[in-house]
Amino acid sequence: MQLQPQVFINFRGEEIRYGFISHLVAAFELHGIYFFIDKYEQKGKDLTHLFKRIQESKIALAIFSRKYAQSKWCLNELAKMKKVAEKNKLEIIPIFYKVKASDVRHQEGEFGHNFWELARTSSGEEIKQWKEALEFVSNKMGLTLCENRYST
């Protein structure tokens, strides 16, 4: 029997997989939190499989980084997360990793530049769904992680 994921992690891999994500995954494993991360999926699976994982989850972490908006995959997952959350079946927590929430919300700064580059090769309907999802999620209470760390 396969366990249902409690947390779906949505992020752009190349930028943060071996830093922030590896620490997050280690903490989840230490505390027995079952999570889903695409690293464990077979290559070549389509988004339908990932959408199913989103629907099975209770919580989704949308981890926005500078290169996040270069990925149609990430943005399509985010749009699906929004749809499930609107039915009150998923709680989304945004994490702004070295990006400003306002840059995500308004597609500005380096995040915005990457978004609009991708948009040039995307359909109007995709862009509309992505923008709505970015605004929906970035307006939620979340976490901001910067270069510096608080010390106690």
Strands 59-64 and 143-145: unpaired
Contact 98, 145 (CB under 8 A): yes
Rounded Cα–Cα distance for residues 115 and 85 (Å):
23
Q: Is there a catalytic annotation at residue 135? A: no
Rounded Cα–Cα distance for residues 142 and 100 (Å):
11
> Which whole-number Å values give the CA distances from 61 to 25, 29, 38, 91, 123, in the listed order?
12, 16, 13, 9, 26
3-state secondary structure 58-112: CEEEEEECCCHHHCHHHHHHHHHHHHHHHCCCCEEEEEEECCCHHHHHHCCHHHH
Q: Say which of 29, 56, 77, 135 is annotated catalytic.
A: 77
Q: Provide the annotated active-site residues.
A: 77
